[in-house]
Structure 1
Amino acid sequence: MGMVVTVEEVPEHGDRVVFVRKGGFGKEEVPQEEFDGEKLATLIWREKRRRIVYVGLGDGSVTADLLRKAAGTGVKLLRKLGGEEIHLDCTAYPEFAGFAAEGALLASYRFEDFRMPDARKKSALRTITVAVGKGRIDQYRREVERSEILAEAVNYVRQLGNQPANVVTPAVLADRALELAGECHLQCNAMGPKELEEGGFGGILAVGRGSENSPRLIVLEHRPTDAKPIVIVGKAVTFDSGGISIKPGEHMDEMKFDKMGGCAVLGILRAASRLGLSVPIVGVIASAENMPSARAYRPGDLIRSYGGKTIEVLNTDAEGRILLADAVGYAVERYAPRLLFDLATLTGACIVALGRHRAGVFTPDLGLRDQLWHLGELAGEPVWPLPLGEEFEDAIRSDVALVKNVSGTREGGGSVGAAFIRHWIGDTPWVHLDIAGPAWTNRELPYLEKGVTGFGVRLLTRYLLSLVAQEKNA
């Protein structure tokens, strides 16, 4: 049974999380130098049979993401203490009640599938209640319910993404997509090697050729109307050794996370269905395992991708863009989308440029770019614009094919990857999100544990929600 989330007027029982501005703490027994509401500072207070965790908000502006982080901080602490029923006291900040619920639910997730039973963290957390103040339940219930669906979709992606490569192969990912389709009333088609060969998906087949685990192209459809869909394409390399151009051994274990663009697509379709969004959405996931073997594709190979466009391979570790070429080319031809997003853990260059907290956003539509920037700040999944330009197109011109898959230098690597994908976009409105940095974390965050973050689910679902609202008001 899943977590129960409810909305009430005031906290009545159970443990509480209370949010405190700097200097606003009223317990005289505690000296201000011990707790004065500094941002995300905590204090445990015991009253009769319940515990109260005070979480500081600092003295700056109170934002959606600050409440999300503060709620996550309080829930994590109470879980460690064995809390069963937790109330989030949002009576002073009811407009942020949904974001607080989201942070609490994200903080409640743990990946413990492979821990021995005696090493699992004991917790009996069963309910989270959001208190919004008298007469406000109906006003804020919908926001809390929406945030619950979003957080559950993110946790679904985290649970799938944290699984190792010996558990989740391309075939298993396809099976999970089929299961999701059954649960959420989606249409699903998963193409295996035979269908990929017949369909001319030379890029996906080349990348997956070196592995015993055959590749898949997975298509999920949420089609409430016959209008042109939004298409979201995801890269899902279930393990990326680099292939013949093998990666260094350090941190190679993290390459089980190279599937996170594709996993995020599953989460977005899950959320869209459960929210009942009226906009048609198609998810396309290109999945393969990139391994070195006698059958693996090689530097110097020439590949004919979907639609006949040719690629010169200079580095087999730049495999994600080759997968996306097939998936994007197919999506553009098959669905003529009104807008196409692609999500991929594509380049280490994006991490060098932006760090691990932000994704790079590439699009010729500057208005859409700015909208995604604002939505990212609201969703707690921030993005930052990086350039497209002719210089990056020139860097991947090939003497023997349409394009080569790397430029041969370390300059502008994120933009070079985007320029490569753009060859399969044509005139379709398009956004490329390079999520290599924030797709997983190596340190505890206020509402996330180490491992997969589910980045992209909240950002793009909130974009879809804004699109539905815009069309409703048009």
Structure 2
Amino acid sequence: MKVAFAQPGLPKSGCLAVGVLEGSVLTPSARDLDAAVGGALGRAIAASRFTGKADQVLEILAPAGVGLDRIVAIGLGKADAIDARRFESFGAAALVAAEKGKGADLAIAVDVLADAKLSAATLAAHAALGAVLRGYRFDTYRTKLKPEDKPTLKTVTALVADTVAAKAAWEPLAAVAEGVTFARNLISEPSNVLHPEAFAKIAKTLEKDGVSVEVLGEKEMAKLGMGSLLGVGQGSERESQLVVMRWMGGDPEDAPVAVVGKGVCFDSGGISIKPAAGMEEMKTDMSGAAVTTALLRTLARRKACANVVGVIGLVENMPSGTAQRPGDVVTSMSGQTIEVINTDAEGRLVLADALWYAQETFKPKAVVDLATLTGAIVIALGTDNAGLFSNDDALSKMLTDAGADVGEALWRMPMGESYDEQIKSDIADMKNVGGREGGSITAAQFLKRFIQPGVAWAHLDIAGVSWTKKALATAPKGASGFGVRLLERMIATHYETAAAPAPKAKKPGKKGKK
């Protein structure tokens, strides 16, 4: 879908979306449109329950006096409460309305609003972002779409006075939109296509954007002592991979931020096999790795002045004669031993070695991991918030604030030594599961054992938010890409510096056990 910016005016055809403030107050563009259609918009508002409250939508088909196929009035709420997210929803609602028709063009009128906190140019860029995110489709494997089901919309044009400023505001947002789309595509792929080796090859394509990418196979990981990660994948015919991505766009002397993603490309549960119902959704158990990869791509494409490394552990958790068994004991890269009680609690085993590798190799200033880790977090928080676990209040606030800014909400969960009692093992340093109580917390306590002293760390359990079963404001049903925007915003706000020299691709060194 093409995004453009143009001067305000009445389009000759297609769909035109205008804003209406709470109390049925027409914006300037809405007033001009109402005049052009002989007062039809005002009469429609008066005859309906539409009052301009946020997210209300009123449509008029084939209005007289203009060549437009459809006009759409969208509630903006109160002017002094308008922010970037409101205009993202505005753009998304316009997109949904336009897709009901057969036209190829959508125009979104963005006016200067006296009480708004942001400029019209900035709001126009965010309206475009909302439209692009909501317009996502994954049709790769559809071969028999009926003509009426095929998308016809080709161009979204934001009508705004200062097109130069709007284009400048859109440029970094375009990279973010591409990143979210990239993550959604990865998450949507079936597991027979996106297995660990295939995922690693896709990650290698980031090199053309200036990201340094190294792929470690099973032999290399065995030399490093990654028995925890390797144990998960030993039942699969697909070779496990560890992918290391580096974007070094900041000061060469600055330690990087490390982002670590769980990449279980399919999770059958292993010998502790899952029930058949819903198992197909386990293709999404690599969402953390998808978001990590998309984040590095986004930062590279907008030339972020920050040093960020991404480490993803890619495995398949399958039952077979070579699969890991309940009761097995594995030795992690850190040297700590783990009794595997449940092979379906495999994500934490993958992260244990990936987290340790990231710290040993890069000495990061902060570590954030993302994983569809537990069903327990879905029971606790539902699908509106991801779980946040951390050993650092400042890092937690950075993440929470960034999530609030972009609409990817986090809720901080408790941690404490008392929860460690549940994962004590009789024969090893720890076991990989506790009891039913506090399952997402004991999983985080397990990960914390692989965080080195003094390292600021946060764990995001995104099990409830990585895939949505209903359309959201800026996401259709399916993969959400949750985490790309949150982490991009956090890094931009807290870890970017002034412009630095373009990064030179270098392969990271390898270190063994500590």
Q: Which residue of 2 aligns with 1:5?
A: 3
Q: Which residue of 2 aligns with 1:43?
A: 58
Q: Which moved more, 1:301-310 or 1:32-41?
A: 32-41
State how 1:146-185 maps to structure 2 within 5 Å: 146-182=172-208, 184-185=209-210
Q: Which moved more, 1:246-255 or 1:343-352?
A: 246-255
Q: Which moved more, 1:277-286 or 1:94-103?
A: 94-103
Tell me, yes or no, if structure 1 residue 385 matches structure 2 residue 412. yes
For residues 9 and 266 of structure 1, do their structure 2 counterparts lie closer, same or farther at Cα, with a shift above 3 Å needed? same
- Give per-residue Cα distances to partners, 1:52-87, cap 9 Å, x unaligned: 221223459334323222311210221231332222
- Give per-residue Cα distances to partners, 1:306-355, cap 9 Å, x unaligned: 13211111111110000000100111101100111100000111111111
Deviation at 1:32, TM superposition (A): 4.2
Secondary structure of 2:326's partner? coil
The answer on whether the counterparts of 1:440 and 1:451 sit within 8 Å (CA) in structure 2 is: yes
Q: Which residue of 2 aligns with 1:17?
A: 17
- Give per-residue Cα distances to partners, 1:412-456, cap 9 Å, x unaligned: 111111111111111211111111110010112232111110010
- Give per-residue Cα distances to partners, 1:447-470, cap 9 Å, x unaligned: 211111001000000111112457
The answer on whether the counterparts of 2:135 and 2:476 sit within 8 Å (CA) in structure 1 is: no
Choose which of 416, 419, 436 in structure 2 pairs with 1:410: 436
Secondary structure of 2:99's partner? helix
Residues in 2 aligned to 1:25 and 1:164: alpha-carbon distance in whole angstroms? 48
The answer on whether the counterparts of 1:101 and 1:147 sit within 8 Å (CA) in structure 2 is: no
For residues 278 and 191 of structure 1, do their structure 2 counterparts lie closer, same or farther at Cα, with a shift above 3 Å needed? same
Secondary structure of 1:152's partner? helix
Q: Which residue of 2 aligns with 1:199?
A: 224
Residues in 2 aligned to 1:12 and 1:33: alpha-carbon distance in whole angstroms? 24
Q: Which residue of 1 aligns with 2:43?
A: 29
Q: CA RMSD in A?
A: 1.9
Q: Which amino acid aligns with 2:105?
A: E
Q: Which amino acid aligns with 2:59?
A: I
Secondary structure of 1:331's partner? helix
Tell me, yes or no, if structure 1 residue 445 matches structure 2 residue 464. no
Choose which of 245, 250, 270 in structure 1 pairs with 2:297: 270
Q: Which amino acid aligns with 1:175?
A: K
Secondary structure of 1:117's partner? coil
Q: Which residue of 1 aligns with 2:31?
A: none
Q: Which residue of 2 aligns with 1:86?
A: 106
Residues in 2 aligned to 1:375 and 1:341: alpha-carbon distance in whole angstroms? 14
The answer on whether the counterparts of 1:157 and 1:263 sit within 8 Å (CA) in structure 2 is: yes
Larger of the two Rg values belongs to structure: 2
Deviation at 1:6, TM superposition (A): 2.5
Q: Which moved more, 1:267-276 or 1:78-87?
A: 78-87
Residues in 1 aligned to 2:308 and 2:395: alpha-carbon distance in whole angstroms? 18
The runs of at least 4 consecutive aligned structure 1 residues that moved more than 6 Å come to none
Q: TM-score, normalised by structure 1?
A: 0.93
Q: Which moved more, 1:389-398 or 1:123-132?
A: 123-132
Structure 1, gaps ≥5 residues long: none
Secondary structure of 1:220's partner? strand
Q: How many residues align?
A: 466
The answer on whether the counterparts of 2:366 and 2:457 sit within 8 Å (CA) in structure 1 is: yes
- Give per-residue Cα distances to partners, 1:267-287, cap 9 Å, x unaligned: 100110011111111110001
Q: Which residue of 1 aligns with 2:505?
A: none
Secondary structure of 1:286's partner? strand
Secondary structure of 1:70's partner? helix
Secondary structure of 2:334's partner? helix
Choose which of 63, 66, 71 in structure 1 pairs with 2:86: 66
Structure 2, gaps ≥5 residues long: 27-40, 114-119, 500-514
Q: Which amino acid aligns with 1:124?
A: T
Residues in 1 aligned to 2:17 and 2:496: alpha-carbon distance in whole angstroms? 32
The answer on whether the counterparts of 2:24 and 2:52 sit within 8 Å (CA) in structure 1 is: yes
Residues in 1 aligned to 2:185 and 2:292: alpha-carbon distance in whole angstroms? 14
Secondary structure of 1:81's partner? coil
Q: Which amino acid aligns with 1:49?
A: G
Q: Which amino acid aligns with 1:166?
A: N
Q: Which residue of 1 aligns with 2:139?
A: 112
State how 1:34-433 maps to structure 2 within 5 Å: 34-45=49-60, 46-47=62-63, 48-50=66-68, 51-58=70-77, 61-92=81-112, 94=120, 95-119=122-146, 121-132=149-160, 134=161, 136-182=162-208, 184-224=209-249, 225-226=251-252, 227-407=254-434, 409-427=435-453, 428-433=455-460
Residues in 1 aligned to 2:198 and 2:497: alpha-carbon distance in whole angstroms? 37
The answer on whether the counterparts of 2:23 and 2:52 sit within 8 Å (CA) in structure 1 is: yes
